[in-house]
Amino acid sequence: MNASSPSPAQNQAATATLYGGVTNRRITVRDLATAKQRGEKWSMLTAYDALTAGVFDEAGIPVLLVGDSAGNCHLGYETTVPVTMDQMVMLSAAVVRGTKRAMIVADLPFGSYQESPAQAMRNAARLMKEAGVGAVKLEGGERSARSIELLVEAGVPVMAHIGLTPQSVHAFGGYPVQGRGDEAAHQLLRDAKAVQQSGAFAVVLEAVPAELAAQVTEQLTIPTVGIGGGPDTDAQVLVWTDMAGMTAGRVPRFVKQYADLRTVLGDAARAFAEDVRGGAFPAAEHSFH
């Protein structure tokens, strides 16, 4: 095979669908690029542990994000801000171990890349070498362009994240919708083009008007991944605990709940406690003699 003829894996990337296809290897950035060319929409979920990640992998979700939403959805913090590199490495390694097919993308947490491109590189390398992830995600458009460029040059696939960037919650004063009004919309477009120009393979658009997300998706050649960005992005991501009904209390308007796991688990725990209290568990079949 010479350098210009496509390898079997490249041919497979050009023809296989993301959902249900490509079973003998992990999804790659090439698969996502060809999905955009075909107009195939795809899904991404967050995952923070091996067991849950394995369920999503078996369900055919092509990309799993070890989001720093682990802060508020897994580790009990109020925001993503306190999450550390050591925590991200540990959670990401578990997700990699629990999966066979999904591309695993890990977030660079707050404070792990904003100082300089060199700092971003050092921490991205940790996620790739110690956890084994296939790509990293970082927040920011024009402001993160130099770091994205350096990572991509060094062989690190980068997913960018613009619009509502949760690591800036204290600067935003909450989680407001972004890109409303002409100037903000123009800035979002500039950010999207900057991350594409820097070599990002995809970009998350969080909490932006649907019409603007559609416009960005039209104008970019890389896939857009929406969360609160309406129906026209190339892919959709949800935080798994929101999607499956594990989150306590209100969830954002853009979430659709596909299960009520919080009730299911609570009912199971109450039934177990009741059986123990009443002596119904353990029964003979659960005992050794």
Q: Which residues are catalytic?
A: 206
Which residue lies nearer to ligand KIV by CB, 109 or 199? 109
Cα distances from 97 to residues 23, 104, 130, 132, in angstroms, run 17, 10, 12, 9
Give the DSSP H or E segment for 103: strand 103-107
CA gap 177, 269 in Å, rounded: 38
Q: How far is the CB of 17 from ligand KIV (least distance, A)?
A: 23
Q: How far is the CB of 211 from ligand KIV (least distance, A)?
A: 20
Q: How far is the CB of 33 from ligand KIV (least distance, A)?
A: 20
Which residue lies nearer to ligand KIV by CB, 34 or 110? 110
Which of 230, 249, 228, 235 is CA-nearest to residue 203? 235
Q: Which residue is nearest to ligand KIV (CB)?
A: 67
Is 93 a binding residue for ligand KIV by CB under 6 A? The answer is no
Is 227 a binding residue for ligand KIV by CB under 6 A? The answer is yes
Is 237 a binding residue for ligand KIV by CB under 6 A? The answer is yes
Give the torsion through C-alpha atoms of 240, 98, 12, 46, to 10 deg. 20
CA gap 10, 136 in Å, rounded: 22
Report the site for ligand KIV in 202-221 (rule: CB under 6 A): 204
Of 239, 243, 244, 246, which one interacts with ligand KIV (CB under 6 A)?
239
Q: What's the length of the chain?
A: 289
Which residue lies nearer to ligand KIV by CB, 253 or 286? 253
Which residue lies nearer to ligand KIV by CB, 13 or 63? 63
Report the site for ligand KIV in 15-74 (rule: CB under 6 A): 46, 65, 67-69
Is 106 in contact with 158 (CB distance < 8 Å)? no
Q: How far is the CB of 71 from ligand KIV (least distance, A)?
A: 8
95-116 burial: b if 16+ Cβ within 10 Å, else e: bbebbebbbbbbbbbbebbbee
Which residue lies nearer to ligand KIV by CB, 43 or 69? 69
Report the site for ligand KIV in 148-177 (rule: CB under 6 A): 161
Cα distances from 75 to residues 151, 174, 206, 217, in angstroms, run 28, 20, 22, 33
List contacts with ligand KIV (CB under 6 A): 46, 65, 67-69, 107, 161, 204, 227, 237, 239
